[in-house]
Amino acid sequence: MEISALQKARYAYKPKLPADLSRPLDQIALEFGGATGAVADQDDLRALFTHSYGKPVVKFVSGKNDGLRKLLKAGVILSGGQAPGGHNVIAGIYDGLKKGNKDSVLYGFLGGPSGLIENRSVLITDEFIDRYRNTGGFDIIGSGRTKVETPEQFASSLETAKKLGLDAVVIIGGDDSNTNAALLAEYFLNQGSSIQVIGCPKTIDGDLKNEYIETSFGFDTAVKTYSELIGNIERDANSAKKYWHFIKLMGRSASHITLECALQTQPNVCFISEEVAAKKMSLMEVVDIICSSVVKRAGKGLNFGVVLVPEGLIEFIPEMKVLIEELNDILAANAAEFSQVSSFIEQMYWLGFKLTKASNNLFTSLPPEIAKQLLMDRDPHGNVQVSRIETEKLLMGMCEQRLNEFKKQGSYKGKFATQCHFFGYEGRCAFPSNFDADYCYSLGFSAFMLIASGLSGYISNIRNLVAPADQWIAGGVPLTMMMNMEHRHGSKKPVIKKALVELDGNPFKSFSSRRESWAEETKFVFPGAIQYFGPPEVCDQPTLSLKLEHQR
């Protein structure tokens, strides 16, 4: 396989570890905190997780330890969407196992959790892992979105682990995947098995975070990749001076990506879904915010700009959320009848008798292309596939209509030419930044330490991430500590609580205090490409959000 010069150079990069993980293993001790509780629904979760609820937070410190040299066999799973740095998590686990005992073994389950269920794995060796160190992607063993849910799947997972003689399984994934890890850990314990389950926090969306998980891996690289692209577009906009660019960014459930990219690039307009929901903003209010910037800038002869839109914005607009829910219910209950309505005009007429008046008025006001997407792009359950809705084009089209109204009124005389973009897959498999390369390797090594210490039902964590890597604090957090109960598919289920953008947090406050000037002036910032070589203040910096969150 041919490799690029950068990939060859990245192979040689040596990820940095926290000082407490860099010691000889017999000098790393485990420090236990007090008993823990879930973030909500404690009684329900205590009843569900009778073997694993209430465990203490742990961290690794300097001290005497003679128990980390035992021979271990572990399996690792990549679960869910790709995120830069996943390969380094596996490298950290592998190197930890081999440092503890050269005869220890690591298997990689192929294609995600289904590899565990179906007993499909590959033995990871020195030669094998060395081809993937410090590289992006999940191609080392592949990933998948299968969940271990049914009694048969749980039983098959345990049978696979027993057949391979595993001491532990590590699940690398987001909130849903780590919820699965907690359930699997409880199942193994309930079956009298000593096989441990450890999680690692992955998602570029940034919504798996809390007091102990300061950021999920991949977020740093993804937002720096997107910010480079946004900066390039801003530079182009400022050069051509003739286009408004509407840019949609990943993040259906939370707007962390959009907020960080706004902090890095200072666009003219940026929406944070959580604020839109909190203020109960209508679709037209969202449109008017953009149009206000367009009109003000046009008054200064600036007929160009950049608008950032989070992927999930449409679901956070209350009236749009109601419309989507009504469409889901109506089309599910009348699927056969709707399938007989052929043309879009007829579909609109048919829905006019079934939608509430407010929802029908909103639906008929949408650009036809977007209205069609609401009807056609549906998942196997009949629900709208929100991620496929071209929200950026929806806003662009409605802004165009609104500005034409202003022109007729004589309150706007500018030009409004547009370009649309969606940045998603571009950031999921980039070469990990130095921060993510170091962070992921540390998470993997910490996961090994949790296994070697005999713990189960924990997620590997690294804290103090705004400091240099040698000052990071490694340890583990009970998965049940991060959970609550939510309604899923008609019943209450235990899930790790998603972390939304906090409107009273420092990152949002910093953004909101400056956005008015961005809306009218051209204050673009051009971050440039991720730097892998050079001084730490250029190459090793965490995100602006992380820095702001650590400010007191």
Three-state SS for 120? Answer: coil
**Please, are residues 86 and 112 in contact by the beta-carbon 8 Å criterion?**
no
Measured at the CA of 374, the angle between CA 369 and CA 378, to 5 degrees, comes to 125
Let me know if 205 is a catalytic residue: yes
Helix (H, G, I), strand (E, B) or coil at 241: coil
209 vs 220: CA distance, rounded Å: 13
Q: Which residues fall within 8 angstroms of residue 409, CB to CB, at 6 or more apart? A: none
H helical segments located in 212-366: 219-240, 256-265, 273-278, 283-299, 313-316, 318-333, 335-339, 344-352, 357-365
Helix (H, G, I), strand (E, B) or coil at 514: coil
Q: For tokens 């998590």, what's the residue?
A: 89
Task: Give the length of the chain.
Answer: 552
Token pair, residue 304, equals 């160009």
Q: How far apart are CA 272 and CA 316, in angstroms?
A: 9
Catalytic pick from 20, 95, 175, 205? 205
Question: At which residue do the structure tokens 């060395």 appear?
Answer: 130
Q: Do residues 84 and 430 make contact, with C-beta atoms less than 8 angstroms apart?
A: yes
Dist. CA 462–CA 253, nearest whole Å: 24
Q: How far apart are CA 293 and CA 401, in angstroms?
A: 15
What 3-state DSSP class applies to 289? helix
The answer to whether the beta carbons of residues 481 and 42 sit under 8 Å apart is: no
Listed in order, strand segments (DSSP E) in 343-443 are 418-423
For the sheet with 458-463, list strands across it. 28-32, 58-62, 473-478, 458-463, 196-201, 168-173, 73-78, 105-109, 121-123
DSSP 365-380: HS-HHHHHHHHH-B-T
DSSP-derived 3-state class of residue 308: strand
Cα angle 143, 145, 147; round to 5? 120
Cα separation of 431 and 411, whole Å? 48
The residues, ordered by sequence, that sit 6+ positions from 143 with a Cβ below 8 Å of its Cβ are 78, 79, 80, 81, 82, 86, 111, 112
Task: Please check whether residue 398 is in contact with residue 224, taking contact to mean a CB–CB distance below 8 angstroms.
Answer: no
| Planar angle of CA 107, 431, 249, nearest 5 degrees | 110
Structural contact between residues 216 and 422, judged by C-beta atoms closer than 8 angstroms = no
Sequence-distant (6+) residues with CB within 8 A of 552 are none
Active-site amino acid positions: 205
